[in-house]
């Protein structure tokens, strides 16, 4: 994917001005929402190292691999609660669309995030 292409997180900004600086380790995400968006983009781009780095150490899986059969189609943010500068936690409700073997799927989750040591981490989520 080209750096001047639209960011996969559907923010409306180019990848270079949106999630790329976070995924490349140039900056830390300032909110739970930007962490959610950058993690979705990392899934799209297969950036497993970034996913591990932004997963809270207490809930991080021991094994994590990109699924080459999964094609991500879009992200829709439904709701956020807290997760801003000065907060210690927050939630982001989203729907991510993807295809596997030509079949469309949706992942609807309310994700929990925690702010520790100047960084936001994905903790876990409730899938519906």
We report the CATH number of the domain holding residue 105 as 3.10.450.50
Does residue 59 sit in helix, strand or coil? coil
Q: Which domain holds residue 103?
A: 15-127
3 assigned to some structural domain: no
> Which tokens go with 3?
């750096």
Does residue 46 sit in helix, strand or coil? coil
5 assigned to some structural domain: no
CA 29 to chain CA mean position, Å: 11
Task: Collect the ranges in the chain with pLDDT lower than 70.
Answer: 1
102 assigned to some structural domain: yes
pLDDT value of residue 2: 82
pLDDT value of residue 3: 78
107 assigned to some structural domain: yes
* Residues found in the chain: 128
| pTM listed for this prediction | 0.96
pLDDT value of residue 4: 86
Q: For the chain, what is the domain count?
A: 1
52 assigned to some structural domain: yes
């Amino acid at each position: 994917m080209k750096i001047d292409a639209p960011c996969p997180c559907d923010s409306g900004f180019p990848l270079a001005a949106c999630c790329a600086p976070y995924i490349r380790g140039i900056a830390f995400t300032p909110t739970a929402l930007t962490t959610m968006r950058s993690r979705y983009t990392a899934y799209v781009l297969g950036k497993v190292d970034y996913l591990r780095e932004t997963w809270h150490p207490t809930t991080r899986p021991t094994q994590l691999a990109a699924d080459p059969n999964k094609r991500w189609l879009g992200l829709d943010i439904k709701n956020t609660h807290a997760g801003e500068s000065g907060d210690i936690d927050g939630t982001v409700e989203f729907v991510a669309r993807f295809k596997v073997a030509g079949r469309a799927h949706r992942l609807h989750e309310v994700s929990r995030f925690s702010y520790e040591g100047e960084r936001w981490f994905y903790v876990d989520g409730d899938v519906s």
